[in-house]
């Protein structure tokens, strides 16, 4: 048995804060937010017409990075929550498996392990 002392309630609070921050991030880079920004730029003069095209190119370039950030946030929330539950239950092997799968999900976006095992977090 591990000698770790994990405060489950504190972990839950942190995960809730991360979830709120993730929602803010997702809404700020959502398709609707980008469309709204484009709409505000397209009505302009010849001076602003190239801006939507440039913004589109930048967003396309960073789409992979944004997906990777989202995967890491989601994997961290699910992995940390489930690893905490496993540690609390004294299941160190399961906690190690969850941590390994958390890293896999963060790197690949493949959350199959968590979906198959119905693991949603703390």
% of the chain beyond a pLDDT of 70: 86
- At residue 2, the pLDDT reads 59
Q: What whole-number percentage of the chain has pLDDT above 90?
A: 30
Q: Using CA atoms, how far apart are residues 59 and 54, in angstroms rounded to an integer?
A: 9
State the pTM of this model.
0.70
Indicate the pLDDT class of residue 107, thresholds 50, 70 and 90. Answer: very high
How much is the pLDDT for 58? 80
Q: What is the DSSP secondary structure assignment for residue 1, as one 8-state letter?
A: -
pLDDT in the model for residue 55: 77
**Cα distance from N-terminal residue to C-terminal residue, the chain:** 20
Could you tell me if 71 and 101 are in contact, meaning their C-beta atoms sit under 8 angstroms apart? Answer: no
The Cα 53–Cα 57 span in angstroms is 6
**95, pLDDT greater than 50:** yes
Mean pLDDT within 28-38: 72
The answer, yes or no, to whether residue 122 has pLDDT greater than 50, is no
50-87 confidence digits (pLDDT tens): 777 787 788 777 888 888 898 999 999 999 999 998 88
């Amino acid at each position: 048995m591990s000698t770790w002392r994990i405060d489950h309630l504190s972990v839950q609070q942190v995960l809730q804060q991360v979830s709120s921050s993730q929602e803010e991030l997702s809404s700020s880079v959502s398709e609707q937010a980008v469309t709204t920004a484009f709409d505000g730029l397209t009505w302009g003069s010849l001076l602003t017409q190239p801006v939507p095209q440039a913004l589109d190119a930048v967003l396309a370039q960073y789409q992979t990075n944004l997906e990777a950030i989202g995967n890491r946030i989601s994997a961290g929330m699910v992995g940390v929550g489930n690893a905490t539950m496993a540690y609390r239950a004294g299941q160190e092997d399961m906690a190690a498996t969850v941590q390994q799968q958390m890293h896999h999900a963060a790197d690949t976006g493949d959350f199959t392990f968590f979906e198959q095992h119905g693991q949603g977090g703390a």
